[in-house]
């Protein structure tokens, strides 16, 4: 998964000559392709933007366990159950890698999680949509992880060392996710009439939310300029979305399913597809908390956290007793 | 929350007899649990044969501001590298 | 032999399913990942046991057909593995009691006169070894931890205790398996189980319940109400779309 950029500071990017000596040295290191490491000097804005982006990315992974977790107990074969479980487990791992990367910037995981549970932090809008039939497990892996990969492959080049290294690790694991998803879709699209119907239904529902994953159009995303200069973001929202559409439409055709966007057409001159924008009003409503599953997702995370408190405290208490006994 | 499990840095020795390498971090109440957790988190794809865990707060690092004085001096000691010396081919490999 | 293999495979099938129910809902990320590994091991073991069961039966049923197309009365698992998750302590205690038994059982089966059984057991026992280490570790730590964690673990032990006895009851099939050298009598494991249990409980400061009353029936197909609900969920797709391939 990935982080969705929506908030804007409204500030433009400073020119090199307007910067302090420190800021300039910092920007020059980034321009030279150097990685910034945890103890290096960095502008406050860089640190803040990174903490927000990496933690949103981490939250997305953690909340992202839920829509697929919804089908683990109903997976149709032992092998499918194993694959899905391994995949959702990877999402937890990715959340953990990302929180760790954020922690190198001086925040604690506990505080980040508190922000998520209290509804103060954002996570990707896609996970506020429900998974309603088994083909959704295919469509999520194929479309949602597919969209995430477009972003994450680019983010391996991000300027912050720990974030970049987390992305490298995540990308290695993520291609398994997209492939297992497409494998399910192939089985469903080539299966019985009912299976094919499930496949089309899943595609129709998840297509538009998948396009939204890249964030609002570049024109409405002022914040991007500074993030791009800092290489916290390395691809614009529209670039990512275009790349995703271009790679996905032929995959839909291969499956023999209908492209949910009837106006999507290949522009012979540019080699890119022209396609219809998703409903941005819906997108902003989902971000505000009004998606079909926002309440349920946060409730599930809160329950897991609250009901697990005694477990976390019990283990810590034992460790402290042992430490005292050893001293 | 003051009672958060401490953070541990995880080092793994891969299959090929190399040194332990830093792979990431995680939270655990103590070293023993950190090893169990590291096994589950960082070796899901058969990545290693041995694990080290070190409490993050126990790691001391060189100051980034001292990068020049710390590491530049070795730049001009090229005689430490074997390619500094021209050895005649007739002598054979050395 | 078929029934014996079902007893092994149904245990890991049902417990693996229960453990997988936690995915995304456990107390901390590290634990979510660890628990998923255990569930993955159990589902993998199920494929081996039920795969062999299908082969031995010779009716063309594979592991999936056995897992997804049998009804409650055909399941041969111990009752303890179908008990619902309840709280996390309950889940860990159930795993601990099962692992104590399972590890010993698999170690014995490594010496089975049947090479196929010995082969599967040799693969599974390594996984069970790790599960047991983790289970003992967590039970000891939580038993000793805070007053609250101690109370939860003691309560879980008491709730699950009536389901322990069934692990060691011998029936006609067990006698037959023992005579053929395929698997030793379950009762022969009891002393080792008790010794390991007492060692762990002492470190955990938990008290072993006095009663030796045992709930039984799982191994011959008489289950608790919970298994039917579990199967209704687990088997839904295979039952609703019997012609589909997944």
| Whole-number pLDDT of residue A4 | 64
**Chain mean pLDDT for chain C:** 97
Q: What percent of chain C has pLDDT over 90?
A: 100
**Angle at the Cα of C26 from the Cα atoms of C25 and C28, rounded to 5 degrees:** 120
Q: Which of A1-15, A43-57, A124-138, A300-314 has the lowest mean pLDDT?
A: A1-15
Question: How many whole angstroms from its chain centre is CA C156?
Answer: 16
| DSSP helix/strand/coil, B24 | strand
| Whole-number pLDDT of residue A1 | 45
Q: Which residues of B touch C137 (CB under 8 A)?
A: 32-33, 36
As a whole number, mean pLDDT of residues C159-184 equals 97
Whether B1 and A313 lie within 8 Å, measured CB to CB: no
- DSSP-derived pairing of the beta strands A265-266 and A273-274: antiparallel
Distance from CA of B12 to the nearest CA of A (A): 14
The pLDDT confidence band at residue A6, using thresholds 50, 70 and 90, is low
What's the complex ipTM? 0.96
Query: For residue A274, what are the contacts with CB-CB under 8 A and spacing of at least 6?
Result: A263, A264, A265, A266, A267
pLDDT (tens digit, 9 = 90+) per residue, A142-174? 999 999 999 999 999 999 999 999 999 999 888
Which residue's entry shows tokens 């000559």?
A17
Residue contacts between A and C (CB atoms, under 8 Å): 146
Please give the sequence-ordered ranges of beta strands (E in DSSP) within chain B, or none if there are none: 7-13, 21-27, 50-55
The helix, strand and coil proportions of chain C, stated in percent and rounded to the nearest 5, come to: 75, 0, 25
Q: Copy the structure tokens of residue C29.
A: 């990320």
Report the residue of B27, B37, B40 to disrupt the A interface, i.e. the one with the largest count of A CBs within 10 Å.
Answer: B27
| Whole-number pLDDT of residue B80 | 79
The pLDDT confidence band at residue A272, using thresholds 50, 70 and 90, is very high
In order of their start, the domains of chain B are 1-57 (3.10.20.520)
- A90 to A167, C31, C41, C82, C103: CA distances (angstroms): 13, 13, 15, 26, 27
Q: How far apart are CA A319 and CA B33, in angstroms?
A: 9
As a whole number, mean pLDDT of residues C42-61 equals 98
Whether C141 and B37 lie within 8 Å, measured CB to CB: no
| Contact by Cβ (8 Å): A37, A161 | yes
Report the residue of B9, B11, B30, B47 to disrupt the A interface, i.e. the one with the largest count of A CBs within 10 Å.
Answer: B30
| Whole-number pLDDT of residue B1 | 45
Cα Rg, chain B, nearest whole Å: 21
Q: Integer distance in angstroms from the first to the last C-alpha of chain A?
A: 44
Q: Copy the structure tokens of residue A114.
A: 């508190």
C212 and chain B in contact, CB less than 8 A: no
Q: How far apart are CA A34 and CA A158, in angstroms?
A: 10
Q: How far apart are CA C155 and CA C161, in angstroms?
A: 10
Residue A41 has pLDDT above 60, yes or no: yes
Q: Which residues of B touch C134 (CB under 8 A)?
A: 36
**Chain mean pLDDT for chain A:** 94
Residue A5 has pLDDT above 90, yes or no: no
Distance from CA of B89 to the nearest CA of A (A): 39
Q: Copy the structure tokens of residue A39.
A: 């103890």
Q: Which residues of B touch A96 (CB under 8 A)?
A: 24, 26, 41
Chains that touch C (3 or more CB pairs under 8 A): A, B
In order of their start, the domains of chain C are 2-240 (1.20.1260.10)
SS3 labels along A61-98: HHHCHHHHHCCHHHCCCHHHHHHHHHHHHHHHHHHHHH
Q: How far apart are CA C22 and CA C32, in angstroms?
A: 7
**Helix (H) / strand (E) containing B44:** none
| Whole-number pLDDT of residue A8 | 46
Strand partners, B55: B8
Q: What is the pLDDT along chain B (94 residues), one digit of tens a residue?
A: 457 999 999 999 987 778 999 999 999 999 999 999 999 999 988 888 899 999 999 998 887 766 777 777 777 777 777 777 888 888 877 7
Q: What percent of chain A has pLDDT over 70?
A: 96
Q: Copy the structure tokens of residue A99.
A: 């929180």
Counts of helices then strands in chain C (DSSP H, E): 11, 0
Q: Which residues of B touch C148 (CB under 8 A)?
A: none
Query: For residue C169, what are the contacts with CB-CB under 8 A and spacing of at least 6?
Result: C186, C187, C214, C216, C219
Whether A89 and C37 lie within 8 Å, measured CB to CB: yes
Q: How far apart are CA A265 and CA A262, in angstroms?
A: 8
| Whole-number pLDDT of residue B68 | 72
Cβ count within 10 A of residue B18: 9
pLDDT (tens digit, 9 = 90+) per residue, A90-137? 999 999 999 999 999 999 999 999 999 999 999 999 999 999 999 999
| Whole-number pLDDT of residue A7 | 52
């Amino acid at each position: 998964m990935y982080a969705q950029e929506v908030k804007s500071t409204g500030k433009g990017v400073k020119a090199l000559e307007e910067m302090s000596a420190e800021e300039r040295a910092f920007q020059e290191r980034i321009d030279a392709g150097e990685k910034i490491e945890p103890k290096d000097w960095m502008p406050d804005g860089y640190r803040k933007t990174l903490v927000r982006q990496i933690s949103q990315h981490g939250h997305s992974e953690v909340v992202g366990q839920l829509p697929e977790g919804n089908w683990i107990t109903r997976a149709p074969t032992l092998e499918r159950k194993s694959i899905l479980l391994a995949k959702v487990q990877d999402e937890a791992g990715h959340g953990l890698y990302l929180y760790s990367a954020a922690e190198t910037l001086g925040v604690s995981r506990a505080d980040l999680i508190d922000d998520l549970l209290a509804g103060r932090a954002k996570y990707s809008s896609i996970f506020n949509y429900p998974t309603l039939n088994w083909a959704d497990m295919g469509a999520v892996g194929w479309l949602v992880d597919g969209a995430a990969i477009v972003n994450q492959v680019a983010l391996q080049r991000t300027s912050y060392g720990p974030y970049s290294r987390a992305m490298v690790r995540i990308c290695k694991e993520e291609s398994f996710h997209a492939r297992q998803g497409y494998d399910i879709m192939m089985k469903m699209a080539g299966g019985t009439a009912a299976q094919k119907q499930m496949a089309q239904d899943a595609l129709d529902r998840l297509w538009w939310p998948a396009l939204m994953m890249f964030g609002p159009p570049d024109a409405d995303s002022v914040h991007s300029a500074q993030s791009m200069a800092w290489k916290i973001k390395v691809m614009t929202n529209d670039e990512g979305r275009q790349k995703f559409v271009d790679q996905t439409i032929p995959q839909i055709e291969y499956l023999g399913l209908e492209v949910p966007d009837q106006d999507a057409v290949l522009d012979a001159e540019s080699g890119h597809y022209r396609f219809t924008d998703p409903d941005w009003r819906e997108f902003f409503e989902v971000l505000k908390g009004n998606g079909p599953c926002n309440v349920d997702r946060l409730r599930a995370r809160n329950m897991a956290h609250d009901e697990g408190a005694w477990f976390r405290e019990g283990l810590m208490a034992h460790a402290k007793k042992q430490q005292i006994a050893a001293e | 929350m003051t009672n958060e499990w401490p953070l541990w840095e995880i080092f793994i020795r891969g299959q090929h007899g190399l040194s332990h390498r830093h792979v990431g971090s995680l939270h655990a109440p103590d070293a023993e649990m950190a090893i169990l957790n590291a096994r589950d988190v960082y070796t899901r794809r058969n990545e290693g044969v041995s694990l080290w865990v070190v409490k993050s707060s126990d790691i001391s690092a060189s100051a980034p501001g001292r990068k020049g004085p710390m590491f530049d001096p070795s730049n001009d000691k090229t005689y430490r590298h074997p390619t500094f010396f021209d050895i005649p081919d007739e002598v054979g490999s050395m | 032999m078929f029934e014996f293999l079902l007893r092994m495979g149904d245990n890991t099938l049902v417990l693996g399913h229960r453990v997988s129910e936690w995915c995304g809902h456990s107390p901390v990320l590290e634990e979510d990942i660890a628990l998923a590994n255990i569930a993955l091991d159990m589902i993998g073991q199920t494929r081996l046991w039920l795969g062999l069961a299908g082969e031995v039966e010779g009716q063309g049923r594979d592991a999936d057909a056995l897992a997804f197309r049998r009804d409650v009365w055909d399941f041969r698992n111990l009752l303890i593995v179908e008990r619902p998750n309840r709280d996390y302590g309950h889940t860990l205690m159930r795993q601990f009691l099962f692992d104590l038994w399972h590890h010993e059982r698999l170690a014995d089966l490594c010496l089975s006169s049947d090479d196929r059984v010995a082969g599967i057991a040799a693969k599974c026992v390594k996984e069970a070894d790790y599960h047991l280490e983790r289970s003992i570790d967590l039970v000891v730590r939580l038993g000793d931890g805070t007053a609250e964690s101690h109370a939860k673990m003691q309560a879980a032990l008491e709730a699950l205790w009536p389901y322990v006895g069934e692990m060691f009851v011998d029936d006609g099939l067990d006698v037959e398996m023992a005579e053929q050298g395929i698997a030793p009598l379950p009762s022969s494991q009891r002393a080792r189980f008790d010794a390991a249990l007492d060692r762990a409980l002492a470190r955990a400061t938990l008290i072993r319940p006095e009663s030796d009353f045992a709930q039984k029936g799982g191994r011959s197909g008489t289950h608790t109400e919970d298994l039917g609900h579990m199967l209704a969920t687990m088997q839904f797709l295979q039952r609703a779309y019997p012609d589909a391939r997944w």
